[in-house]
Amino acid sequence: MDVLEALRADSGVVAVVGAGGKKTTLYALAARAAAERSRRAVVTATVRIPIFDREVESVTVTDDPVAACERTDAWPVGVVPEREGDRYLGYDPDVIDGLAAADAADLVLVKADGARTREFKAPNDREPQLPESADTVIPIASVEVVGNPLSSEHVHRPERVAAITGRDRGDAIRAVDVARVLASDRGGLKGVPDGATVIPLLNKVDDAERRAIAEEIAMELLERAPPVERVVLARMIDDEPVVAIREG
């Protein structure tokens, strides 16, 4: 299945949270939507995001993202409110709601939390920064984390993951631990707006061993989270990234 269809990211507001491939996913979806579907695709954020000018046709630093989108004719584009060093800052979520309401774009892709390049995370009290207009929320985890210790080397906010899973710092992370976090309202389901579709993405399914791990996570996740009807297994750096889709 096409990745846009698999992740229900063909149109509307799509917010990406978690760890292990958020930015790669945002850029891949934006490029495909613009090139293959002729969508007016926008990449933006409600949190800090590394400079991504090379990933889109242009980036506009502006307090008025609606006007910036209305002026452009080359997609995908990026809109951000401010640059600070090697990162852009993010908009308040209600600004994204305004962009969605203005119909200045077909697809608004939003980075809605941070992970400091780790493979797995659970959010803190201020995360995620999800716009109410989000149609789809994609919680991401990298299957690469399974087997590694529950530590800050591999996990962003390991204490939060420990609190959800009941594991101790330093314990080896299991497939069921990843599923528990993604299925938790303190983890992958935290702050999801009413009516939004949640589609977890298990990334870095690079070989048969990791696919088996991803299949185990997906099975546990579908059992633990009734609101989740689909889990996507993928290798988002590939031209055809979808490895498998599991549905409850």
Q: Where are the domains of the chain?
A: 3-44+106-247
CA nearest neighbour of 65 among 31, 89, 86:
89
Could you give the CA distance from residue 114 to residue 98 in angstroms, rounded to a whole number?
A: 23
Rounded to 5°, angle at Cα 31 from 29 and 33: 65
Could you give the CA distance from residue 143 to residue 177 in angstroms, rounded to a whole number?
A: 11
The per-residue pLDDT for range 89-136, each reduced to its tens digit, is: 999 999 999 999 998 999 999 999 999 999 999 999 999 999 999 999
The per-residue pLDDT for range 57-89, each reduced to its tens digit, is: 999 999 999 999 999 999 999 999 999 999 999
| Coil/strand/helix, residue 137 | strand
pTM above 0.95, yes or no: yes
The per-residue pLDDT for range 157-193, each reduced to its tens digit, is: 999 999 999 999 999 999 999 999 999 999 999 999 9
The per-residue pLDDT for range 30-61, each reduced to its tens digit, is: 999 999 999 999 999 999 999 999 999 999 99
Class of residue 84 by CB neighbours under 10 A (exposed 0-12, middle 13-18, buried 19+)? exposed
Rounded to 5°, angle at Cα 153 from 130 and 125: 30
Query: Which of 3.30.700, 3.30.70, 3.40.630, 3.40.50 is the CATH number of 3-44+106-247?
Result: 3.40.50
